[in-house]
Amino acid sequence: MTYPFGAVVGMDDMRLALLLNAVSPAIGGVLVRGEKGTAKSTTVRALAAVLPPVAVVPGCRFACDPAAPDPACPDGPHEPAAPAQTRPARLVELPVGASEDRVVGSLDLERALTEGVKAFEPGLLAAAHRGVLYVDEVNLLHDHLVDLLLDAAALGTAYVEREGVSVRHAARFLLVGTMNPEEGELRPQLLDRFGLTVEVAAPRDPAVRAEVVRRRFAHDADPAGFGTAWAPEEASLAARIADARARLPRVVLSDDALRQVTAVCAAFDVDGLRADLVTARTAMAHAAWCGREEVTEDDVRVAARLALPHRRRRNPFDAPGLDDDTLDQALEDSRPEDGPDDDPAPPDGPGDGGAPPPPQGDDGGPGPGESRHRDDGSPDGGSPDGGEETAGAAAREKAAVAPSDPFRARRLEVPGIGTGVAGRRSKARAERGRVVGSVRPSGPVTRLHLVDTVLAAAPHQVARGRSGPGLRIAREDLRQATLEGREGNLVLFVVDASGSMGSRARMGAVKGAVLSLLLDAYQRRDKVGLVTFRGGDAALALPPTWSVEAAAARLRELPTGGRTPLAAGLHRAAETLRVERVRDPQRRPLLVVVTDGRATGARGSDALGAAHAAAQRLAAAGTAAVVVDCESGPVRLGLAGVLGTHLGAHTLRLEELAAESLAATVRSVREAA
C-alpha cells in the first residue's frame, strides 16, 4: 500500500529532506532513522509519484539522457539527435539479501569464453540511474553490497569485472535508506555517503494518530478513490518541485552565506569537507524550494539541521544529534561584522556595552531559575527532604558501576570455516575473499577460475580438432572459483555480575573490557546478545540483536552484587543459542563467558559441579567459547581456567583481551582493582 506523498502527516523533517533531494539530487540522498511502524517506507515509496519525469533514449536499458548520452553505454553508441521518450522517474528497491550480480549486473562468462560474445544483463544500479535507489533496513545490508554502493555513489559509475571482461555504465541515483537504530548502526563510510539524515517517531498527539488511522481505512476501502482525492495536491507538489529545479541554477550562495556554512561545519568538528559541500547544496535547494534566489541564514540553519547530525559522531555508541545552542552560536559568530546588531547595548551604559553580569540572589548566589552545584556536580542545598533522594541516588550509583574506558580488543574467532553471512570475524566460504580452489559449477558461472578452466580444457584440444592458437572450451571445462573470506557471528556475552567480582574498580574494568568487545563486534558486523547472572538466577538482558548500542546501554546499567549462579548463566546461554540456531542456522555463535570461575548456590548444593556439567553440555553441542578470567590479586584459585577446560574453550586473562600496544594500560587498571 502507498499513500500519496502529501497524505503523510507528522513527518515534516523527512518530507522536507526528500523534497530537497528531489530539487537537487546532487545533495546525495536521505537516511531515515526511526522506530518501527512510523511509515518510513510508505513515505519513501510515495516520493516517486511527485518526481519530474525523465527523458530517455528509446530502447536503452541504462536510461541514457538523449541530450547527453553516455558514450560508454553498453547499449550505445547513441546518436545525439536521437528521438527522446519521456517516462516517470523510477524508484528501485534493493533487497537486503540481494546478490552482487543482481545489484551490478552480470556477464555471461560461458558465452564470452566459448563464443566471444560480451552479453551483459543490467542490474539494479542500472535500473536506478536518474531515479531513486531505495534500501529498506539499510543497516542490515551485507558488507560486499555496501562496498558496491559506496563505489557507485562516489563515482556515479558501476563497473562489472569478470576475468578480464569488463563493462561500465552510468549509475547516478538518489540514494534513500531507512533503518531502525535498534537493529544496529551503519558503517561510517556508508553513513557519510547519505547527504541528509532525519529522525522520525510516531506522533504522540491523539488527533494526529486518529487522522493517520482514518486515512488508512479510507485507502483500504477504496484505493482508487483515495488516490483520486489526493491527485490535485500531488500534482501541485510535483509542479512546485519542477519550478524549484528550474530556479536552482539562479540561486546565489554569497560569500557571507558560504562563511556561515563553513563556520557551522567547523563548530561541529566534522571530518573532511563533504559536510560543507552537502550543507551548501542543501541551503541552495531550500532557497529554491522557498522561491528565493539568494541563500539566507534560515536556509543555512535548515541545511545544517539535516546535513550534520550523522557526521559529528565520534563513538559508535553515541546517537547522532545536533545541539541547537552550538548551531545558534556558530551562526551568530559568522554574521558579517558590518551587519545589523540584533541586540545593541546602550551607548553610555555600565561596562561600556559589555555583557551584564548574571543575576544573583541576595546572598550573592545564583539568581532565580538557576541551579547551584558543587564541583562534583551534586546539588548544593535543596529541599529539606532532599537527603533521602541523595541517598537513593548514591545507592543506585553503587549498584550500577560505570565501565572503564574501552580499548582496541583482539579478534576472537570461531574455529573452522563457516558459510554464514559476510562479516569480519571468522573464516568462511564467502562471495568475496581470496581464491582457495575451484569446483564444477551447478548453475551459471559468476566467478570463473581461469587457470583451472584452462587446465580442464587442455587435455581435450586434439580431440576437439584445435588447429590454431585459439583454445576450444566446452561447458564441462568451466570451473567456479571458491573464495575464502570472513563471516559475521553471534557473539553471546555471559557476564558475571555477582558479588564475587570484587571491588567497584574491578567491576569497572570488567565492564570496560566487555564494552571493548562490543565495539569490536560493531566493527565486525556481528549480532550480539547479553546474559547476566547474579543473586539467585540468570537473565537474558538483551536478546540477540544487531544493536550493540542497546547492549552497551544494558551493560552500563548492569547492577552488581549477590551470589554467583554460574550454572544458571550457562543454562540460559544454552537456551538462547538453541533458539537462535532455529532462527538463523547459518550464523555460528561465539560464547564469551566473563567470570572469575566461582559458583555459589543454596546450602548443601554442589554449585561448582553443576556449572561444570552445564559447561560440558555446551561443549558437547559444539559451541565455540572463550572464557575471560577476571580473577585478580596475588592469590589465584584458577577456577576460570577449569571452567574453560570443561567448555573446551580458550581462557584469556582480562589484560590479554587488549591489543599488544594497550596491554600495559589494561594491566594497570586490573592491578588497581
Per-residue pLDDT tens digits for 401-458: 666 677 888 888 899 888 887 778 888 887 777 788 888 888 777 778 878 888 888 8
Would 601 be classed as within a structural domain? yes
* pLDDT over 60 (residue 114): yes
Q: Is the domain of 460 the same as that of 603? A: no
Q: Is the domain of 274 the same as that of 303? A: yes
Would 596 be classed as within a structural domain? yes
Q: Is the domain of 447 the same as that of 498? A: no
Number of domains forming the structure of the chain: 4
Q: Is the domain of 443 the same as that of 550? A: no
Q: Is the domain of 635 the same as that of 646? A: yes
Q: Is the domain of 115 the same as that of 261? A: no
Q: What is the mean pLDDT of residues 536-561?
A: 84
What's the pLDDT score for residue 371? 40
Q: What is the DSSP string of 231-284?
A: HHHHHHHHHHHHHHHHHGGG-B--HHHHHHHHHHHHHTT-SSSHHHHHHHHHHH
Domain extent at residue 649: 490-667
Q: What is the mean pLDDT of residues 88-115?
A: 79
Rounded CA separation 301/117 (Å): 55
Residue 503 confidence class, pLDDT cut points 50, 70, 90:
low
Q: What is the mean pLDDT of residues 469-479?
A: 83
Closest by CA position to 14, among listed 230, 269, 198, 274: 198
What's the pLDDT score for residue 4? 53
* pLDDT over 60 (residue 348): no
Q: Which pLDDT tens digit goes with each residue over 123-172?
A: 899 999 988 999 988 887 877 787 788 778 878 888 887 655 678 888 88
Q: What is the mean pLDDT of residues 532-547?
A: 88
Q: Is the domain of 531 the same as that of 562? A: yes
What average pLDDT does the chain have? 80
Q: Is the domain of 169 the same as that of 143? A: yes
What's the pLDDT score for residue 115? 64
25 vs 192, higher pLDDT: 25
* pLDDT over 70 (residue 214): yes
Q: Is the domain of 94 the same as that of 189? A: yes
Would 372 be classed as within a structural domain? no
Which domain CATH number covers 165? 3.40.50.300
Q: Which among 183, 201, 219 is the end of a domain?
A: 201
Q: Which among 487, 504, 525 is the end of a domain?
A: 487
Q: What is the DSSP string of 446-498?
A: SSB-HHHHHHHHGGGTTTTT--SSSPP--GGG--EEEEEEEE--EEEEEEE-S
Q: Please indicate whether residue 274 is annotated as part of the active site.
A: yes
Q: Is the domain of 521 the same as that of 572? A: yes
Would 239 be classed as within a structural domain? no
Would 367 be classed as within a structural domain? no
Q: Which among 295, 313, 331 is the end of a domain?
A: 313
Least confident of 126-135, 239-248, 380-389: 380-389
Q: Is the domain of 483 the same as that of 552? A: no
What's the pLDDT score for residue 532? 92
Q: Is the domain of 578 the same as that of 477? A: no
Is residue 439 within 8 A of residue 482, CB to CB? The reply is yes
Residue 491 confidence class, pLDDT cut points 50, 70, 90:
very high
Would 244 be classed as within a structural domain? no
Q: Which pLDDT tens digit goes with each residue over 571-583?
A: 999 999 999 999 8
Would 219 be classed as within a structural domain? no
What's the pLDDT score for residue 562? 85
Which domain CATH number covers 307? 1.10.8.80
What's the pLDDT score for residue 350? 41
pTM comes to 0.67
One of 274, 335, 504, 556 is an active-site residue; which one? 274
Least confident of 310-319, 423-432, 507-516, 600-609: 310-319
